Amino acid sequence: MGAPGNLYSGSVPVLYDRYRGPVFFQPYANDLARRVACLTAGRLLETAAGTGILTRVLARLLPQRVTLVATDVSRDMIEFAAAQGKVERVVWGEVDAIALPFPAMTFDTVVCQFGVMFFPDKLAAYREAHRVLKLGGSFIFNVWDRIERNEFCCVVNEVAARFFPDDPPGLMVRTPYGYYDTTLIAQQLRSVGFDVTAVDAVELPSHAPSAQELAIGFCQGSPLRREIEERDAARLGEVTDTAANALLTRFGPGPISGAMRAYVISARKTALTDSDVCQRIHPDGQRP
């Protein structure tokens, strides 16, 4: 399947932001931003910022005394995000969340919108978030619940599977909708030093202008596109149209609505680690 950054290259960022952003990510970005609205000064790091959907909300909501640093492993995604309006105050960076290029205890808050599911080494990413947070700092992120609890994606994924029965695309079930075991997530966070303060199930309605636009967003503006093209690139349009018809049959014509469900995990850095202590010994800011 390739590196996570390659899943969101080429034309995907534009399609992702236009067709999927308002439908799936904007409602949860508003929710996540409200959870960090108490930050009135300091530094906030966003990892896996994608096309900047959450970033733009944060830039509007948080006061100027908060420095916003937004990062993503995909150059195409972060370049698209930086080119959008009302993000002049944001410091952008092409950065891998499992190897953050920041000194220990640099940030007051770390946030991540539907990104941790794609981290190839989640424990490494959690350690890095813990390392760069100041003592008492917060790490807040969200993950999707299982695919069956997210109606639009479930329908489209079933369509794609029928096209390739001998080798059905599995990334959507395995990755973006496959990391929903909150007990496991909490255990992993605690293993790197975090105190898990809340795990909230958040159900929100998902609204799309039309079945066709939603199908384009999923089939051509998500990692599903790469899986379709790897099997038969010539059938991308056919899969998209069939998915649109399936959505139309299930949800009706015109603007459509479906259920979606995610978890928001909040954690806090309550103790120093060896990495923090080591960087105190090496005040030049170089990672140990």
Please report which helix (H) or strand (E) contains residue 123, including its range. helix 122-132
Helix axes of 53-61 and 26-35: crossing angle, nearest 10 degrees? 40
pLDDT-derived band at 86 (thresholds 50, 70, 90) equals confident
Q: Residue 126's closest CA among 145, 112, 147? A: 112
Structural domain spans, the chain: 4-270
In the sheet with 107-113, reading across from the earlier edge strand, the strands are 90-94, 66-72, 42-47, 107-113, 133-144, 256-269, 194-208
3-state SS, residue 175: coil
Above 90 in pLDDT, residue 276? Answer: no
Count, in order, helices (H) and strands (E) of the chain. Answer: 12, 7
For 226-256, write each residue's pLDDT tens digit.
999 999 999 999 999 999 999 999 999 989 9
| Spatial distance between the Cα atoms of 29 and 46, rounded to a whole number of angstroms | 12
Task: Report which DSSP code applies to 37.
Answer: T
Bridge-partner residues for 198, per DSSP? 266
For 1-57, write each residue's pLDDT tens digit.
445 556 677 888 999 999 999 999 999 999 999 999 999 999 999 999 999 999 999
Mean pLDDT of 189-217: 97
Q: Residue 30's closest CA among 20, 40, 18, 22? A: 22
User: 4-270 adopts what CATH topology?
Assistant: Rossmann fold (3.40.50)
Lowest-confidence range among 55-64, 91-100, 179-188, 276-285?
Answer: 276-285
Mean pLDDT of 93-122: 98
For 253-266, write each residue's pLDDT tens digit.
989 999 999 999 99
- CB contact at 8 A, 140 and 32: yes
Q: Residue 117's closest CA among 206, 45, 38, 184? A: 184
